[in-house]
C-alpha cells in the first residue's frame, strides 16, 4: 500500500457509519460562558445587598442611587473582608455605602478613617467574619 492509496478524511467520513463526531466548544466560547455566569452572580449579589439595605447607606443613612457619576449619593457595595475567596458573592460580608462614606472607609492603603465593628459574626473555613445582615457600628480611627 502506497501513500497515494490512503483514503482522505472526506472519504473516511463518507464511509463511516453512525453519527458524526460533534465538536466541543472552543476555549473562547467556554470563557464567555464562564463570564456570563459570573456576571449573573455578581448582579444578583449586588441586588440582594441593595434590597436588604433598603437603598440607604449603612454608615450615614443617606438615600443612595445607582449611577455612574461620582456624586456623594452614589451607592456602592462594599466588600467588608475583600473580594476574594468564598466571601466574594456572600451578602453577609457586604454592605451598601454612599460614595462619601465608602471613600472614608477605604481611604489610602493602611489609612482607614472608618472601621466596622461587628455586632454579630459568622464562621466559615477561613475564620470568623462580620455578618452585615445585622446592625454594624462604624468607628472613626486616626
Please indicate, yes or no, if residue 42 is contained in any of the structural domains.
no
CA dihedral 27, 31, 34, 35 (to 10 degrees): -170
Please indicate, yes or no, if residue 98 is contained in any of the structural domains.
yes
Containing structural domain, residue 109: 56-142
Mean pLDDT, all residues of the chain: 87
Per the CB < 8 A criterion, the answer to whether 140 and 114 are in contact is: yes
Please indicate, yes or no, if residue 106 is contained in any of the structural domains.
yes
> The pTM is what?
0.71
Q: How many domains does the chain have?
A: 1
Helix locations, 1-142, DSSP H = 9-15, 27-52, 99-106
Please indicate, yes or no, if residue 69 is contained in any of the structural domains.
yes
Please indicate, yes or no, if residue 4 is contained in any of the structural domains.
no
Phi, psi (deg, nearest 5) at residue 56? -130, 145
Helix (H, G, I), strand (E, B) or coil at 96: strand
Please indicate, yes or no, if residue 36 is contained in any of the structural domains.
no
Please indicate, yes or no, if residue 20 is contained in any of the structural domains.
no
Please indicate, yes or no, if residue 67 is contained in any of the structural domains.
yes
Residue-wise pLDDT for 6-20, tens only, equals 888 878 777 776 666
Strand partners, 42: none
pLDDT at 55: 97
Amino acid at each position: 500500500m502506497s501513500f497515494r492509496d490512503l483514503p482522505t478524511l472526506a472519504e473516511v467520513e463518507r464511509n463511516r457509519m453512525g453519527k458524526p463526531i460533534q465538536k466541543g466548544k472552543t476555549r473562547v466560547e467556554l470563557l464567555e460562558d464562564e463570564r456570563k455566569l459570573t456576571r449573573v452572580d455578581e448582579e444578583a449579589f449586588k441586588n440582594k445587598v441593595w434590597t436588604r439595605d433598603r437603598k440607604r447607606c449603612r454608615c450615614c443613612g443617606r438615600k443612595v442611587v445607582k449611577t455612574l457619576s461620582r456624586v456623594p449619593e452614589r451607592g456602592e457595595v462594599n466588600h467588608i473582608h475583600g473580594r476574594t475567596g468564598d466571601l466574594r458573592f456572600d451578602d453577609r460580608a457586604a454592605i451598601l455605602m454612599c460614595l462619601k462614606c465608602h471613600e472614608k472607609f477605604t481611604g489610602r492603603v493602611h489609612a482607614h478613617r472608618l472601621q466596622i465593628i461587628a455586632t454579630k459574626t459568622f464562621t466559615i473555613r477561613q475564620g470568623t467574619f462580620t455578618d452585615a445582615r445585622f446592625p454594624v457600628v462604624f468607628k472613626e480611627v486616626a
